[in-house]
Amino acid sequence: MGQYIVRTAHLYHRYNRQWAIQDINISIGHTGVLGLLGSNGAGKSTTMNILCGVLNQTTGKVYIDDTDLQEYPEKAKRLLGFLPQHAPLHLDLTVDEYLTYCAHIRDIPAKAVKSAVAAVKDKCGVTAFGKRLLSNLSGGYRQRVGIAQAIIHKPKLVVLDEPTNGLDPIQIKEVRHLIREIAEERAVIFSSHILSEVQATCNEIRMIEGGQIVFSDTMEAFNNYILPNSMIVAMDNPPAMEELAIIPGVNKVELLHDQRIRIHFSGSSTISQQIVHMSVAHDWQLNEVTPEKSSLDEIFAQLSNRNFK
Ligand SMILES: Nc1ncnc2c1ncn2[C@@H]1O[C@H](COP(=O)(O)OP(=O)(O)OP(=O)(O)O)[C@@H](O)[C@H]1O
């Protein structure tokens, strides 16, 4: 068993003249969830399709548990399960028929198929829907069946491309829970364009933008990295805006419609303490300080500029 269940080395891909991804190096250990976060068109699906051997890279290597995916596709693909962005569901089949079909495709021995289908239905919470046509399931349950087909053969690595896309908030919560459960026994890679989604589910994060990885670390490191860069303050006796604007580190102040003030700053995490001290000294009667975190767009912009790898 290798150190990593999946490792890519200098993956590049272009569909036409333009590179869709460039120099993607991702590795993940044998358990846990790695989130691939990126906006639309960033290169998530391209990366995942290559990771799963559905698309051949232009250059670079993918190793699944140290097996070269291009050289030994059959051996490598036995180790992985994949839920593409558009789940490969046959809507005219029942859940039982579909999962039985998937079990056969995955080479599960005939006498073990029934128990494999029952076990995966139980794991994914679809036991009650075995006889239901897939076309009659809600989006959330279809997605559960999509995840079930990806894990029916007990792969060591599961790759899920935007698994919560189009689901309602309750379904999203349930699918997240399922992903975390699945990841207790194996590695999971999943993609999303929603930061909170990745924050809620993953231990590791890789942020991709313009086809390149712009952040690669643990979720904890990422959360520490996205420090607040603005705050909302409310005061009963506020000073003139100019007085706040000249505080060192403050970039801009905005008076909001409810008379609260948004202060944009950079480089200093002590601005809020300074405001509190000045408020006491000048009797501004401060009654609220709320830090605001950057939007995902701002984080992408910051990280892309720094080329932080
Ligand atoms: N089959 C294709 N032919 C040509 N260009 C493609 C093809 N598929 C993707 N692209 C381009 O490659 C780039 C990366 O696309 P990709 O689908 O990997 O991004 P993504 O992060 O998964 O986006 P989304 O969340 O919208 O699916 C984009 O510029 C996209 O337009």
Residues 186-198 have pLDDT tens digits of 999 999 988 888 8
> Which is nearest to 189 in space by CA: 51, 35, 61?
35
Q: Which residue has the tokens 């459960």?
A: 181
Give yes or no for residue 308 having a pLDDT over 80. Answer: no
Which residues, other chains included, contact 41 with Cβ-Cβ below 8 Å and sequence gap of 6+? none
pLDDT confidence of residue 54 = 93
Q: Do residues 175 and 270 share a domain?
A: no
Which of 208, 225, 242 is at the close of a domain? Answer: 225
Q: Do residues 203 and 273 share a domain?
A: no
Domain count, the chain: 2
**What is the DSSP annotation of 101-157?**
HHHHHTT--GGGHHHHHHHHHHHTT-GGGTTSBGGGS-HHHHHHHHHHHHHTT--SE
Averaged over 104-113, what is the pLDDT?
Answer: 94
| Residue 15 CB less than 6 A away from ligand 1 | yes
Q: Do residues 102 and 31 share a domain?
A: yes
Q: Do residues 163 and 57 share a domain?
A: yes
- Ligand 1 centre and the CA of 51: distance in Å? 15
| Residue 13 CB less than 6 A away from ligand 1 | no
**Stated pTM of the model:** 0.79
Which residues, other chains included, contact 25 with Cβ-Cβ below 8 Å and sequence gap of 6+? 8, 9, 10, 11, 213
pLDDT confidence of residue 171 = 83
- Ligand 1 centre and the CA of 170: distance in Å? 28
| Residue 45 CB less than 6 A away from ligand 1 | yes
Q: Which domain holds residue 239?
A: 230-292
Residue 309, in any domain of the structure: no
What are the pLDDT digits (tens) for 34-57?
999 998 899 999 999 999 999 999
The pair of structure tokens assigned to 265 is 């700053």
pLDDT confidence of residue 46 = 96
The CATH number for 271's domain is: 3.30.70
| Dist. CA 15–CA 266, nearest whole Å | 39
Percentage of the chain exceeding pLDDT 70: 93
What are the pLDDT digits (tens) for 165-187?
878 888 888 889 989 999 998 99
Averaged over 88-114, what is the pLDDT?
Answer: 95
pLDDT confidence of residue 36 = 95
Residue 301, in any domain of the structure: no
